[in-house]
Amino acid sequence: MNVVILAAGMGKRMQSALPKVLHPLAGKPLLAHVIDTARTLSPAKLCVIYGHGGAAVLEHLESHKAKGGVEISAALQEPQLGTGHAVMQAMSELDESQPTLVLYGDVPLTTADTLKRLAEVAGNDKLAILTVMQENPFGLGRIVRHGGRITRIVEEKDARDEERSIKEINSGIMVAPTVLLKKWLGALTNNNAQGEYYLTDIVAQAVDDKVEVVSAHPSAGWEVLGVNSKVQLAQLERIHQGNIALGLLERGVTLADPARIDVRGELVCGRDVFIDVGCVFEGKVELADGVSVGVHSVLVNARVEAGANIKPFCHIEDAVVGPASQIGPYARLRPGTVLGEDVHVGNFVEIKNSQVAAHSKANHLAYVGDATVGSRVNIGAGAITCNYDGANKFRTVIEDDAFIGSDSQLVAPVTVGAGATLGAGTTLTRDAPAGKLTISRPKQLTIENWKRPVKVKK
């Protein structure tokens, strides 16, 4: 099969500088949804028709090429003279021995199953149209049938009153034998209300050529919904998120409210995972058995191991949380953070590019950056690594069983030996030896007979 994706329209109603097909749905451009679905069909040829915002669309196609798989070609449609004219631009790219599937870059949720069914009814010699019954068909092309057989498609603007009352609409998605498609496209005229070359006019030509015109229907109406405005984009986002939430529930995940979770990527969950309201997952996130994620947490490309508890309001990105760890509330784990088993990271603690081994704790108000922290280490409130001198970054090493007193500054590069204790308020600029107390605080003294100043009367 060949696949042609129409993506040249400008999407004026989006009111945006970004081309319509690049607006994200669940964190991924509309066009990427369509390309990813098309690729699951293993097409012989895949061609994207682009026009408005050409450079940005081409750049986006490059990112797909990096993923491998079937090659994507691109054909420029300039000016945009209609859907039939758009498909025409792809003809030289296609394999004529196989049928051609036409998809829209702004209809992101069609499932591969539905497309396979459409291709099946089309076979090699029929024209197949994906149609759907719509209570409010306003603005869409209507499927005109005689004696049950499709005879033509009429656009809203060209339709007579009795045709406007038809509720079966053209999704726009169709499969056609490629040699015939080429012939039919060549014979299109733009003698219609919009002065465009309509792809839909090939239906009447097929009927004239005695080519059978058949139809298939999607499993759900949302599969053929397109995006023309921010309103429709928001509606599709909710539908898509609802589907994702349903999938999670079916796999046994407990969601406090399936209407209040956003997955913008791939979320893989083990058994007995609980996710509270308002959480956002981006990129690839893995939650192992028994993980709990608290209210309004954001996890980006993260792995959380079995039994870990992410308390409310955490931000975790490119990080690994070890089993049975306790994170938050209000903790931030930045890229390169790897926590071992039963690590406790409390409120207003930030960890970046650091490894923290089993049973260590930083429970309040700390910054741990570019550090290697051993097991059973206690990092006191307000302690920070000074990892950056304004030009370069340096590592801090804190060995097993060390105790970092509150409000200490560890000026990297520096090492705290195993079992060492830093007194509160220490500014550590040289290594702290293992097993000993190191303290940089001036000795406390009390001034005898000191008196508070009193206000002088004028």
Q: Give the residue nearest to ligand UD1 (CB).
A: 141
The span from the CA of 396 to the CA of 386, in Å, is 9
> Does residue 364 carry a catalytic annotation?
yes
Helix and strand counts by DSSP (H, E) for the chain: 8, 39
Query: Do residues 361 and 324 make contact, with C-beta atoms less than 8 angstroms apart?
Result: no
| One of 184, 198, 281, 367 touching ligand UD1 (CB under 6 A) | 198
Give the binding range for ligand UD1 (CB under 6 A) out of 119-127, 198-206, 273-281, 415-423: 198-206
The rounded distance, in Å, linking the Cα atoms of 301 and 335 is 9
Among 2, 83, 110, 325, binds ligand UD1 (CB under 6 A): 83
Phi (first) and psi of residue 11, to 5 degrees: 65, 50
Contact map string, positions 41 to 60, toward ligand UD1, x by CB under 6 A: --------x-----------
User: How near is the Cβ of 221 to ligand UD1 at its closest, in Å?
Assistant: 13
Query: What x/- string results for residues 116 through 155 when contact with ligand UD1 is judged by CB under 6 A?
Result: ------------------------xx-----------x-x
User: Which residue stretch of 100-108, 232-240, 343-351, 436-444 sits at the interface with ligand UD1 (rule: CB under 6 A)?
Assistant: 100-108
Pick the piece of the chain touching ligand UD1 (CB under 6 A) from 170-178, 245-253, 353-361, 399-407: 170-178
Q: Does 109 bind ligand UD1 (CB under 6 A)?
A: no
Other Cβ atoms less than 10 A from the Cβ of 244: the count is 19
Q: Which residues contact 136 (CB under 8 A, 6 or more apart)?
A: none
What is the separation, in whole angstroms, between the first and last Cα of the chain?
A: 98
Report the C-alpha gap between 79 and 76 in whole angstroms: 9
**Is 169 a binder of ligand UD1 (CB under 6 A)?**
yes
Query: Does residue 99 belong to the site contacting ligand UD1 (CB under 6 A)?
Result: no
Coil, strand, or helix at residue 197?
A: coil
Largest CA distance in the chain: 113
Tell me whether residue 49 or residue 414 sits nearer to ligand UD1 (CB atom). Answer: 49
Residue 77 binds to ligand UD1 (criterion: CB under 6 A) = yes
Apex 377 CA angle, 394 and 415, nearest 5: 30
Q: What is the 8-class DSSP label of residue 299?
A: E
Residues in the chain: 458
Any contact of residue 104 with ligand UD1 (CB under 6 A)? yes
Sole window of 36-44, 59-67, 144-152, 192-200 interacting with ligand UD1 (rule: CB under 6 A): 192-200
Residues sharing a CB contact under 8 Å with residue 192, sequence separation 6 or more, in sequence order: 155, 157, 158, 198
Give min distance, CB of 200 to ligand UD1, in A. Answer: 4
Helix H or strand E segment including 60: helix 54-65
Q: Which region, judged by CB under 6 A, interacts with ligand UD1, from 127-135, 166-174, 389-397, 425-433?
A: 166-174
Q: How far apart are CA 179 and CA 125, in angstroms?
A: 10
- Measured distance CA(115)–CA(216) in Å, rounded: 9
Count of residues interacting with ligand UD1 (CB under 6 A): 27
5 to 34: interface string for ligand UD1, x by CB under 6 A: -xxxx-------------------------
Under the criterion CB under 6 A, does residue 90 sit at the interface with ligand UD1?
A: no
Quickly list DSSP for 318-329: SEEE-TT-EE-S
Q: For ligand UD1, what does the binding mask look like between residues 217 and 256, x meaning CB under 6 A?
A: ---------x------------------------------
If one asks whether residue 82 binds ligand UD1 (CB under 6 A), the answer comes out as yes
Between residues 47 and 261, which has the closer beta carbon with respect to ligand UD1? 47
- 418 touches 401 (CB < 8 A): yes
- What residues act catalytically? 364
Provide the binding-site residues for ligand UD1, judged by CB under 6 A: 6-9, 49, 77, 80-83, 85-86, 104-106, 140-141, 153, 155, 169-172, 198-200, 226
